[in-house]
Amino acid sequence: MSKEKRESRRERGKKIREKVFSELMEYLLSKEKKIWEIPWETGFSYPRNAVTEKPYKGINFIRLYLAMRKRGFSDPRWVGFKQAKEKGWNIKKGAKGEPIVFFDVIEKEKVLKGNSIEEVERKREELLEKWVKQYGIRNIEIGEIKYKSSEGFEDEKGEEKKEDKEDDYSYYCVVRVSHPIWVYHYVFNAEEVEGIPEFN
C-alpha cells in the first residue's frame, strides 16, 4: 500500500476518534439525561448488527449510540452495505452511513527466487526496504536463502512444494509479514434499509 493511502487511513481514523470524542462531550454537556443513566431508560436497546444480532462494543457502541440519539433512531440495528445486499435488503436513497472500526491483521508471503545467492539477496533487500516502511521490521519474518532441491522449495511447514520444481531458479528465500491494522466500515441504521424485517 502506498504511503499516501496509509496516511489517509491514519488520518481517517484520527478524524473518527475526534468526532466520537466531540459528540460524546457535546452530549454529556447537554441538558439531556446523562449517558450513564441511559441503560435504565424504558425501551433502551444496545446498538447491534442486524444480521449477526451481536451488540457493538467499545468505540463502535459509543459511536452508534450517539448517532441514534442525534438522528432520532429508535431501531438499534445497523447493517453494512454488503451485508444488506446479501440479505436482499436495499439501502434507501440518501441514507447516511456511520463509520465503525475493527482490528484486523494483514498477512503476506513472498517467495523470492533466483539463480544465484546474490540475486536472491538483492531481491530480499529491495522487498525489505519496501515492507519495513509499510509494516515495520518487527512484523516481518525473514527466511534464510536456501538451495532448491529437485522437489522444489519448502513451505511454512517445512514441507516441499513439488508443483514448483519445474521453475527455472536455483535459490529461494521466503519472507512473511503479519501486520495489525484498523479497518473502517460504514453501517446504516435499519430505519434507512428497505426490506429488513421489523424490529421486535
Cell of 191: 430505519
What gap in Å lies between CA 20 and CA 175, rounded to an integer?
Answer: 39
pTM: 0.60
Would you state the pLDDT for residue 183? 81
What gap in Å lies between CA 156 and CA 161, rounded to an integer?
Answer: 10
Residue 39 or residue 85, greater confidence: 85
Would you state the pLDDT for residue 185? 87
A 10 A CB-CB count for 76 gives 20
Element containing residue 196 per DSSP (H, E): none
What gap in Å lies between CA 56 and CA 142, rounded to an integer?
Answer: 38
Quick: pLDDT tens for 38-74: 544 545 678 999 999 999 998 899 889 888 988 999 9
Domain ranges of the chain: 3-102+183-194, 104-182
Cα radius of gyration (the chain): 25
Total number of residues shown for the chain: 200
Quick: pLDDT tens for 121-138: 999 999 999 888 877 778
Q: Is-contact 51 78, C-beta < 8 A?
A: no
What are φ and ψ of residue 24, in 5° steps?
Answer: -65, -45
What gap in Å lies between CA 156 and CA 174, rounded to an integer?
Answer: 8
